[in-house]
Amino acid sequence: MIPLQKYNRGFIRNHNTSGVVFAAVFTFVLLPLLMCWCGCAGITDSLVLVHADNVTATGIIVDKAGYVVTCAHTVSGANSIAVELTPGTNYEGRVVCTDNARDVAIIKMAGNFPALKPVIIGDSDLMHQWDEVTSAGYKPGDTKALTSKGAVTGLPKADGISYLQTNAALDPGLTSSAILNKAGELVGMVSGNSGKAGREGYALSANEVRTVLSQAQEAEATPLTIVPLDPPSVYGDHVIVAWKTSRPATGQVEYGTQVSYGNRNIPEATLIESHSSVIQNLQPKTAYHFRVRSVDCCGIEAVSKDYVFTTTAASVQGGKFAVSNIDIYDIASTAATVRWITNKPATSLLSYSADKQGEADSESDNTLVYEHKIRLNGLRPETRYSLNIKSVTDYDEVEQQNLSPFTTLPSSPVCCKINCRLSDFAFKTLQGGDFTNRDILGKKVFMLFTKTSCPTCMQQAIFLNDVYANWPKGTDMVMFMVASSEKKADVEEWIKKYGLSVPIYIDPTANLVSGCQFRTIPTSLFLDTGSVIRDYKSGGFGNKKDMETTVKRFYETER
């Protein structure tokens, strides 16, 4: 081995000194600056200004065909939209798809625009807390993009939508700015901020943006259409209307004795392709005009032509009791929804069993309704299920049918990220028994990882204890704490000292904490009925109300 000092002397003695100096300057000064300049140039090449009437905001080019993403509230109600590629060079734009829940709008540029440099959309599910990110966007009136470096400080989820929280400076006015990872890929779009310069803000995750973009491209390729309706099923004071759409959409019926209609039923909010609706409280032996309306995920509406039906003189009790319009949809790895319609008000009973398992389970509702819907949770992934539906009227008329079997989807991959299934675990109870992942199957879970030596953990334990004590009993929500690498005596002393009643389990080897590589304790996980991680929080909640609100929102979202 050559000693470092001797090697350096020989190198200097046999090479031009100025070349060494230049190499050092290039390596440690010019190269980083060059890399930064190239990165910034790459970012701004994909940014544009979107002018919607008198409102200006950042837009992000996401496809060379002229698709630009921005916030939905920016273009809402605008009479004219223009995309400014370079200062003073505008191209007409039109909204192809709007998703108000995500606050995303996809704009399509028109005209002969030059070659575009779209941003690469990264996989935001691969982001972790404290990963480095860069924000880039225009403030109104500026022609130079503002950039700020920071890190991911949280990966929250609200109403089933994924976000990134970042401490990159998100000054007011930077709505629709891009959030990029170290590779320059789009991992988020700013959809709101704290309203104060330099404070942490929130960005919609890039995978949510990708979903809306895919919907917009599909809407462009194949417009939403309504398949011609079959004649409706007509009864004395109600009618069953059924129709299909070319892709999943909502459904609603307009009806009345005149072509102006005047009445609408409550719309079906679930996006499905096979629609059915019961129109009630009609006059017997009366002609009614009706048409159906459906709206897809992009907000694009399709309306059928006018149809006419005439009610009969039969009463609601007359005629044979029947079940129709059966549908199994929204199938996941651990859940599915079954719906059907009866021509008379009746109860709902759904029996189901996994093939080769023998035992059958059931879900029921004794409310007398025409439209029946039951959501099954806690199913096994990649399993074939047999179903039987049964409805009974107030006059003891019974109708039941065996349905075609369906198979649940494969389970989510096992990991510690959002949308992954939590790995199997075996915790110890204070009584010496085992508490495993099998004990939470089919239930929604809020679990808090803690340590008795951590002051913040003590505070979080008290918060959770109050939330647990006040939570309605009999729900399918489970809350507990996991103490890692703890002695039983320390945990029991903790319980006694703070009067805790929320269940606490011990992970003596901290296998789950180390396997998930939690950066901080406390850390909270939210699991759905299939033990899939839907949200997590690193660190503690600011107060009990914050924790309670988050748990309640998760519970209602995953229902």
CATH number at residue 103: 2.40.10.120
- Give the integer Cα–Cα distance in Å for 526 and 536: 6
Q: The tokens 């109403």 sit on which residue?
A: 159
Average pLDDT over residues 181-194: 82
* Residue with the larger pLDDT of the pair 298 and 294: 294
- Give the integer Cα–Cα distance in Å for 72 and 462: 40
Residue 249 and residue 166 share a domain: no
With respect to residue 77, please indicate whether it lies within any of the assigned structural domains: yes
With respect to residue 419, please indicate whether it lies within any of the assigned structural domains: no
Residue 187 and residue 51 share a domain: yes
With respect to residue 12, please indicate whether it lies within any of the assigned structural domains: no
Is the Cα dihedral 170, 147, 190, 414 positive or negative?
negative
Residue 144 and residue 262 share a domain: no
Q: Quick one: 109 exposed, middle or buried, by C-beta within 10 A (0-12, 13-18, 19+)?
A: buried
Residue 239 and residue 159 share a domain: no
Q: How high is the pLDDT of residue 226?
A: 93
For 355-429, strand residue ranges (E) read: 361-376, 384-392, 398-407, 426-428
Of 407, 437, 458, the one marking the end of a domain is 407
* Residue with the larger pLDDT of the pair 100 and 505: 505
Average pLDDT over residues 44-59: 90
Minimum mean pLDDT among 9-18, 59-68, 321-330, 335-344: which range?
Answer: 9-18
Q: How high is the pLDDT of residue 192?
A: 57
- Quote the number of domains for the chain: 3
Average pLDDT over residues 369-392: 91
Q: Specify the DSSP element, H or E, that contains 60.
A: strand 55-63
Task: Write the pLDDT tens digit of every residue in 213-239.
Answer: 988 988 888 889 998 888 898 887 889
Q: Crossing angle of helices 544-557/455-470, nearest 10°? A: 50
With respect to residue 250, please indicate whether it lies within any of the assigned structural domains: yes
Longest dimension (CA), the chain: 111
Residue 314 and residue 449 share a domain: no
With respect to residue 414, please indicate whether it lies within any of the assigned structural domains: no
Q: How confident is the model at residue 317 (pLDDT cuts 50, 70, 90)?
A: low
For 319-471, strand residue ranges (E) read: 323-329, 336-354, 361-376, 384-392, 398-407, 426-428, 434-436, 444-450
Q: How high is the pLDDT of residue 2?
A: 26
Of 361, 377, 407, the one marking the end of a domain is 407
Domain CATH code at residue 531: 3.40.30.10
Minimum mean pLDDT among 56-60, 387-391, 481-485, 554-558: which range?
Answer: 554-558
Domain with 259, as residue range(s), is: 233-407
Residue 238 and residue 369 share a domain: yes
Residue 326 and residue 253 share a domain: yes
Q: How high is the pLDDT of residue 353?
A: 93
According to DSSP, the β-strands at 201-205 and 161-166 are antiparallel
Task: Write the pLDDT tens digit of every residue in 427-439.
Answer: 999 998 899 988 8
Q: Global pTM?
A: 0.56
Residue 401 and residue 477 share a domain: no
Tokens of 179: 């959030």
Residue 79 and residue 165 share a domain: yes
The number of residues in the chain equals: 559
Most confident of 43-52, 70-79, 266-275, 384-393: 384-393
Residue 382 and residue 436 share a domain: no
Q: How high is the pLDDT of residue 4?
A: 28
Is residue 549 within 8 A of residue 468, CB to CB? The reply is no
Residue 430 and residue 357 share a domain: no
Residue 400 and residue 269 share a domain: yes
With respect to residue 242, please indicate whether it lies within any of the assigned structural domains: yes
What DSSP string describes 196-264? STT--EEEEEHHHHHHHHHHHHHHHHS---BPPPPPPEE-SS-EEEEEEEEEEEEEEEEEESSTT--EE
With respect to residue 182, please indicate whether it lies within any of the assigned structural domains: yes
With respect to residue 420, please indicate whether it lies within any of the assigned structural domains: no
* Residue with the larger pLDDT of the pair 291 and 515: 291
Q: How high is the pLDDT of residue 348?
A: 96
- Give the integer Cα–Cα distance in Å for 113 and 551: 48
Cβ neighbours for 445, distance < 8 A, ≥ 6 positions apart: 477, 478, 479, 480, 525, 526, 527, 531
